[in-house]
Amino acid sequence: MSMQQRGRGTRARGGRGRAGYSGRSRDFASKSWRKPQTQETFAPALGSMLAEVHESDLADVSSVDEKSAKISDCKDIASFNWLNEKEPTIRIPGNPPAWTPLPHPSKLKEDAGEYFRDQNAARYPSYPMQPAVEAILTQNPDISTESIDIVGCGSTIGNLLRFVRKVDHEFRMLVEVLGSTVFFVRRENSPRELIQNVYGYGHSFPEAYTSWAPSVKGSESHQRLIKYTFGDLKCVVRFEADGYFPELMQEQSKNIRQNAKIDREIDADQGLASIFGDTILGRRDPGSIPGKESLTIQSAGDHVPQSAIFDLKTRSIRKKDNDVLGEELPRLWVSQIPHFLLAFHKAGVFDLEEMQIRDVRENVAKWEEDERDSLRQLAALLKLLVAFARTRPDGRFELVHEKGRRVLELREVCDDVPRTLPSTLCKRWTKEGLGVDDNDKPSSLRTDDQDKYTDLDWDTGSEKDYTACDAKCGYCGSCIY
């Protein structure tokens, strides 16, 4: 496998933003807490070209074992809820909304409002991945982060899957190494970019047919993090869960909240805060940048196992013969969601007999088998990107795919783009100063992977072009535009 190095050159791209991988419209409705962005947005500036990955670079997958190109050892490791507050606020572990169907169907109002493409970035543009990492470290204080190769989300991993499956979809993401973990961070034109042309009942249906537990009232979203092995890489993937079936809840020998602790320094005079039961204690993130928003973290909710989670879609009864599940299988595979709820409506009325609830684990397993060649390419691509990131002098780059081109561009990150995590949280993730035993080093950090890129001539002195942004920072993540 080879990558073609490209010369310098910086350019900006115009155009509208892209929808996320999931294609879901249930990101969250903008409320009075923050005025949504309604003006046209433009793509942030691009850094200098470093290299390109062509389709032909992934054609030979002989080095990827077929057995490794399957997801294994999947388990849920953390979760949190976004609250609809003026200041960024999460509750750990939170709860997904429960399936509570109406006893008698009634006509629902069609979706109306404004919805953000990427709610994690919209609610906390400074560090969109911080809530996920806070949840992981809170619920797993002894986790071996050194053994985690990749942290991404349904959008970033899904877009890479789209690329190897030759689905023409435009996207950008930031890639950064923290310790030995490579983070893949979704990037839109603006953190608060809106979904365009929202219609149907994708929001009003879950609002009517699911409900939040009292301990997480005021929630807008339930985010989950699962950990699995794919292509010999240890991956953590964040995704949004539409809901869960209470009847599928298994008895927990110990409630996860009994082990949940806020394991960090709040300030020099304060110790650790232990969280028990449904007590809601809030704290402000100490690592936030002065003068910018900070993340409030509360403890509330219950652990809901992945086996009870469902994904939902609504469609007009006129589309009942369409293979909706088939279209969603790639996304269900990435997030390992076991149940799929498909609700058909007649002019906004959802009859229970027109709702399909399916255990889709066998469907996902069959799709995985049928797509083994594409998944071997995905494994090869992930290994290539991980190895490339680990050889970068600054440990990061931007990955760009333009619509109509069958090539991935690997570019420098502009200097004004902030890091993935604040410094204090980064130190907690990397266990800075604690030392790492050789046996704990990630399995994917292999000499043969790194040697492919050590001879490349890095040139980090790129000029910046802000002409693509209507704000002076070019969407650096440091402002609200």
Supply the pLDDT for residue 121: 83
162-171, 270-279, 408-417: least confidently modelled range: 270-279
pLDDT greater than 70 at residue 426: yes
pLDDT greater than 80 at residue 364: yes
Supply the pLDDT for residue 43: 81
How big is the chain, counted in residues? 481
Highest mean pLDDT of the ranges 192-196, 268-272, 281-285: 192-196
Quote the pTM value. Answer: 0.78
Supply the pLDDT for residue 196: 65
Around Cβ 63, how many Cβ atoms within 10 Å? 11
Supply the pLDDT for residue 63: 85
Contact yes or no for 133/223 (Cβ under 8 A): no
| CB neighbour burial string for 222-232, b if at least 16 within 10 angstroms, e if fewer | bbbbbbbbbbb
Q: What is the pLDDT of residues 22-49, one digit of tens each?
A: 333 343 343 434 444 445 667 888 999 9
pLDDT greater than 70 at residue 8: no
pLDDT greater than 70 at residue 458: no
8 versus 351: the higher-pLDDT residue is 351
Percent of the chain with pLDDT over 90: 62
Alpha carbon distance 66, 45 (integer Å): 39
Alpha carbon distance 19, 442 (integer Å): 33
N- to C-terminal Cα separation, the chain: 40
Alpha carbon distance 367, 396 (integer Å): 33
Query: Structure tokens of 432?
Result: 């800075």
**Which stretches does DSSP call E strand in 165-303?**
171-178, 181-186, 210-211, 219-230, 233-241, 243-244, 261-262, 273-274, 282-284, 296-301
pLDDT greater than 50 at residue 289: no
**Which stretches does DSSP call E strand in 154-207?**
171-178, 181-186
Give the model's confidence band at 380: pLDDT under 50 very low, under 70 low, under 90 confident, else very high.
very high
185 closest CA partner among 199, 166, 171, 206: 171
Residues near 75 by beta carbon (within 8 Å), at least 6 away in sequence: 226, 227, 228, 306
Alpha carbon distance 167, 187 (integer Å): 19
SS3 state of residue 104: coil
Alpha carbon distance 252, 119 (integer Å): 30
Q: How confident is the model over 387-405, as a mean pLDDT?
A: 95
Contact yes or no for 262/91 (Cβ under 8 A): no
Around Cβ 327, how many Cβ atoms within 10 Å? 11
Instruction: Please name the amino acid found at residue 152.
Output: G
Give the model's confidence band at 362: pLDDT under 50 very low, under 70 low, under 90 confident, else very high.
very high
pLDDT greater than 90 at residue 257: no
Instruction: Please name the amino acid found at residue 248.
Output: L
Q: What is the pLDDT of residues 127-149, one digit of tens each?
A: 999 999 999 999 999 999 999 99
Alpha carbon distance 272, 265 (integer Å): 6
Q: Mean pLDDT of all residues in the chain?
A: 79
CA distances to 93, 417, 430, 464 from 421, in Å: 20, 12, 11, 23
106-115, 252-261, 351-360, 419-428: least confidently modelled range: 252-261
Supply the pLDDT for residue 282: 52
Alpha carbon distance 57, 191 (integer Å): 32
Contact yes or no for 240/24 (Cβ under 8 A): yes
Query: Structure tokens of 103?
Result: 């006893």
Q: How confident is the model over 232-255, as a mean pLDDT?
A: 83
DSSP code string of 293-354: ---EEEEEE----GGGEEEEEEEEGGGTTS-HHHHHHHHHHHHT--EEEEEEEBTTB--GGG
Alpha carbon distance 257, 245 (integer Å): 20
Contact yes or no for 235/228 (Cβ under 8 A): yes
Supply the pLDDT for residue 460: 31
Give the model's confidence band at 442: pLDDT under 50 very low, under 70 low, under 90 confident, else very high.
very low
Alpha carbon distance 177, 397 (integer Å): 9
Supply the pLDDT for residue 245: 97
Degrees, nearest 5: CA angle 357-361-365: 140
